[in-house]
Amino acid sequence: MSTGMESNGERNQTAFRRLKSEIDRSYPYGHWIAIDDGEIIADAPDFDRLTAALQAVERDSSDVFVAQAGVEYPEYIDILLADRSQ
């Protein structure tokens, strides 16, 4: 349930989790999907074609949620950065 305080990115991640089983049934493994405003707005067999499809609808991959059908993503990841200045 949305509290109205979620960012568009959070809404799109929630939509992906809700749509994941449908995406996995409807698209071949590895097919690229873009979600914005809670719905699928573009899909393509590779990332370059997805980028072109997003440009056609005046969107950018950095502004939408992008994932691949059939791929399992962890809910959370930790990113460790090394200080290489020394």
- Nearest 5 degrees, angle CA 20-CA 71-CA 40? 40
Q: Where residue 77 falls among pLDDT bands split at 50, 70, 90?
A: low
Decide if 80 is inside a domain: no
Q: How many separate domains does the chain show?
A: 1
Read off the pTM: 0.78
For residue 64, which amino acid is it? V
Domain contains 82: no
Closest by alpha carbon to 70, among 17, 10, 29?
29
CA gyration radius for the chain? 15
Question: Is residue 83 assigned to a domain?
Answer: no
CB atoms within 10 A of CB 35: 23
pLDDT of amino acid 1: 46
Question: Which SS3 state, helix, strand or coil, does residue 82 take?
Answer: coil
pLDDT, tens digit (0-9, with 9 covering 90-100), for 24-68? 999 999 999 999 999 999 999 999 999 999 999 999 888 899 999
